[in-house]
Structure 1
């Protein structure tokens, strides 16, 4: 009877906490809506704006939503907490957190800033893409100032609401989704806005070689995604309560994750036209680190399901096969790079989710 009563009390407390969080998110979203409308009104007054393109409604709403979204994420990380932290529950102090999560509750300003920046960029790219789609659906349509102000405010408010909830509930499993969405949005946006529609005839790195917004988007996506991976490496390989025999393997996995993150950032930081040696060296080094990671992770995470290890071996084989096809002339370089990139990100996303599930246990 005591156990049933305790579980009932826990469910009531969890529901109250969830409603409390939703209420706070609504307040943050409403405040962001007002801010977005107030900021946009002077820019829109007396004008009829295009839906997409330079000086458009979607462009202004996207930039404002990105800035406000970053602030909303930081506010969410401070929700019921003493310090900026990328993960953790509602405990105010590390000593009050569950033992399995205690290592995730320390101050981590850099981690929080990087993940907040990723949320802001997702908001920017999301509204820009939506604006482009709507512009195609409403050819040559314009939006009056008052309507544009309301729409911009709603876009900013909705972004702040969603990002606040994401930040307040952030853990490894949710972060895996953020990382995947961020990378997908960034690369797709760079592809769609590339000044040369036939960039794919060369290689994937051609997206980052021009002085266009497309190249800026491509390189910035790689840099931020790499910093995110490097920042969360220690949380994905938490050593709290780990068997001493497993610690060395987990540390090797941590080093590989950090290397993958830094080398991915290096690919974006050094475009092919800036330094071919540093660019190619970063790309090859990232694949080498990933290959080691696939074969080392079994000892570092022995509780993971066998299907996870099998997935790693299969994806490694796919990358090798794609490389063989390229060497024999069957694949172009772009196809090989895309296959390798998708395989690496897919495995890393699943790894974060498996690590998160193991930590919850």
Structure 2
């Protein structure tokens, strides 16, 4: 029995799906009463975070920063401001961070063996790069804005400023390199949620003394609000990221289901919603034509979201019954909310906007999750036979 050997015959479909070749090594994991076989990654396709991937650009950026502060001829470098440590980190961090992100993502695309996925990733790369670049810039600006509040009027000598610059820009480059390994539909959804929640909360907190809720929710993005750019930028980035997420999910799905017209209609609805969300941020609710354009975009977003809610039984017939009922319930809730505001004036404009926006975005995120589960997640089961060989 000690010399007894066994072999497992793997079905051809599984071999093709995993792109296995003769002599490929498989890892065997035994856990309790289960047995799992997984392909062993080679050095070419491992997603390793090599130190040099983020330290080399960080060193180069630090050298450029050192020359810059010498050229400034100022022995003291402020933490924030026009010619400050924060400005340098944002500028050089954006260049080196996005440079590393783009280079590694394109490298991963070139190494992709699935031709359909390779073409899809290439098609979506420009939109993805633009979205990530905006999010990185917004995150760094928001971070140093908060740091500026904590350490007001902080200044450093040249050596201290250079060391701090290296630390900050290294963190930025590490996060950008690490982000390359996370790119997926679920990650994009999480990123969208974080962007919306953090951006809106920052806008609320910074305008709490202005009692913004006595005006309307869109007041956070008007000229009268403090740091209105945070609110508007959040909606603009969310709209762009939403459009990217739609592409990231629907392009491979529609390649697989070319004659699925219902998915095409659903994609049109979702793309329209993304454009409306972007327009709400790009058109602040200031008096005049901007107010009319802002309200029009907001109302169109409600219509564009309510439409697929009511048509969900036809657009996604394979969705589970719970989500279909939730969609109709959400649509009914939006109608009731509209009646409470327009009909009997029970709700304030702020409450109406927050409730409608919360219901709409929550449903849209759940919709994307359900689409991903229906069309993207593949789990195939095969029956194999263990054979004894002499």
Q: Structure 1 length normalisation: TM-score?
A: 0.78
Q: Pick one of 322, 327, 350 that aligns with 1:312.
A: 327
Change (3 A) 1:12 1:103: closer
Unaligned runs of 5+ in 2: 1-6, 11-23, 29-36, 379-390
Q: Per-residue deviation at 1:257?
A: 0.9
The 8 Å contact of residues 58 and 127 in structure 1, kept in 2 or not, is answered as no
Q: Distance in 2 between matches of 1:60 and 1:190?
A: 25
Secondary structure in 2 matching 1:8: strand
Specify the alignment match of 2:59 in structure 1.
34
1:129-184 residue CA offsets vs partner (Å, 9 max, x unmatched): 65257x1xx67765544333322322222222222222343121111111222222
Specify the alignment match of 1:147 in structure 2.
160
Matching of residue 80 in structure 1 with residue 80 in structure 2:
no
Q: Pick one of 61, 75, 98 that aligns with 1:46.
A: 75
Change (3 A) 1:295 1:106: farther
Unaligned runs of 5+ in 1: 83-89
Specify the alignment match of 2:348 in structure 1.
332
Specify the alignment match of 1:349 in structure 2.
365
* RMSD, matched Cα: 3.5
Specify the alignment match of 1:283 in structure 2.
298
Q: Distance in 1 between matches of 2:42 and 2:341?
A: 54
**Which stretch of the first structure deviates more once superposed, 318-327 or 176-185?**
318-327
Specify the alignment match of 2:274 in structure 1.
261
Secondary structure in 1 matching 2:78: strand
Specify the alignment match of 2:48 in structure 1.
21
**Which stretch of the first structure deviates more once superposed, 294-303 or 221-230?**
294-303
Q: For this pair of structures, how many residues does the alignment match? A: 341
More strand by share: 2
| Deviation >6 Å, runs of 4+ | none
1:182-230 residue CA offsets vs partner (Å, 9 max, x unmatched): 2223323333445973233211222222187722332233223223323
Q: Distance in 2 between matches of 1:322 and 1:132?
A: 40
Change (3 A) 1:139 1:280: closer
Change (3 A) 1:57 1:129: same
**Aligned ranges for residues 132-143 of structure 1 at < 5 Å?**
135=150, 143=156
Specify the alignment match of 2:228 in structure 1.
215
1:284-335 residue CA offsets vs partner (Å, 9 max, x unmatched): 1111111112233444444444443344344434433433443444432122
Q: Distance in 2 between matches of 1:103 and 1:31?
A: 30
Change (3 A) 1:35 1:316: farther
More helix by share: 1
Q: Distance in 1 between matches of 2:120 and 2:282?
A: 29
Secondary structure in 1 matching 2:123: coil
Q: Distance in 1 between matches of 2:142 and 2:44?
A: 30
Q: Distance in 2 between matches of 1:326 and 1:15?
A: 60
Specify the alignment match of 2:18 in structure 1.
none
Q: Per-residue deviation at 1:74?
A: 1.9
Matching of residue 173 in structure 1 with residue 186 in structure 2:
yes
Q: Per-residue deviation at 1:36?
A: 4.2
Specify the alignment match of 2:136 in structure 1.
120
Q: Structure 2 length normalisation: TM-score?
A: 0.73
Q: Distance in 1 between matches of 2:174 and 2:144?
A: 18
Q: Distance in 1 between matches of 2:333 and 2:91?
A: 39
